């Protein structure tokens, strides 16, 4: 089990990728969740491409995009909740 995470610059949101090593052989993508840090509420759960396993993640400076690097690829998601 591996957890990849990233905070927005204002520390108000947290993105987590749940990368379960037991699922790697099944080619199941990790679960991506964007959380409100204060309320601990899940705000978004964007889809992750099949076969993509992130090793690093970071929000854009204003927190509107989330980028992740893995498998020699970069994947971007819209991360603005409002």
pLDDT digits (tens, 9 = 90+) for 47-74: 999 888 899 999 999 999 999 999 899 9
Distance CA 25, CA 5 (A): 22
Specify the DSSP class assigned to residue 64: S
pLDDT tens column, 17-53: 987 655 555 656 788 999 999 999 999 999 999 888 8
pLDDT at 27: 59
Task: For residue 23, give the 3-state DSSP assignment.
Answer: helix
Specify the DSSP class assigned to residue 71: T
pLDDT at 26: 61
pLDDT at 50: 84
Q: What percent of the chain clears pLDDT 90, i.e. is strictly above it? A: 66
């Amino acid at each position: 089990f591996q957890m990849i995470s990233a905070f927005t610059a204002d520390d108000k949101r947290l993105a987590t990728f749940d990368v379960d090593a037991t699922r790697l052989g099944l080619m199941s993508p990790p679960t991506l969740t964007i959380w409100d840090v204060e309320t601990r509420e899940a705000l978004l759960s964007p889809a992750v491409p099949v076969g993509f396993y992130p090793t690093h993640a970071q929000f854009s400076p204003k927190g509107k995009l989330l980028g992740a690097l893995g498998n020699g690829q970069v994947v971007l998601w819209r991360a603005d909740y409002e």
